[in-house]
Amino acid sequence: MSQATLGDDEELFGEAANEMREDVESSLEDAWDALPAADEIWETDADNVLGVLNGLKTALDVGDAEDHLRDAKKWFTMGQRADAFEDADDLEAEIETLEEAIGDIADAGEQVGDLTSTIPALRGTLEDAGSVDDADADEE
């Protein structure tokens, strides 16, 4: 192999490494953009608790963030194994932060989902208890 070919290979590898980093950064940005906005989970127009919970459950959907995170991790892993990144600590830290954010949002969504199914049953129980109390008061 000639010196020119080796030089070209290094240049191509450098370009590929830069593109790989850009792919990771782009996927991370897309993942952050896919997460719900803070106002979406904070503000509501609902008239009752169940409406609030249903709206919150909908707002806590991470959308395509998990897919974008997977793409970022895929290209990051490929770049690391190829030793293509000179310094990838920032990418690794952002991937971990994003994973935690997605996990927190998913956990909150599960908790809200539990409440969404519990509140109507609780309301029914309390209404039934109220009708028993009303009946007892009528008998006295």
Q: Quickly list DSSP for 9-33.
A: HHHHHHHHHHHHHHHHHHHHHHHHH
Say how many domains are in the chain: 1
Q: Is the pLDDT of residue 132 over 90?
A: no
- Domain boundaries, position 52: 3-139
- Per-residue pLDDT tens over the stretch 48-83: 999 999 999 999 999 999 999 999 999 999 999 988
Work out the pLDDT band at 1, boundaries 50, 70, 90.
Answer: very low
d(CA 92, CA 76): 8
Q: What is the pTM of this model?
A: 0.80
- pLDDT value at position 59? 94
Q: Is the pLDDT of residue 102 over 80?
A: yes
* Beta carbons within 8 Å of 64's beta carbon, 6+ residues apart: 30, 31, 34
d(CA 140, CA 131): 15
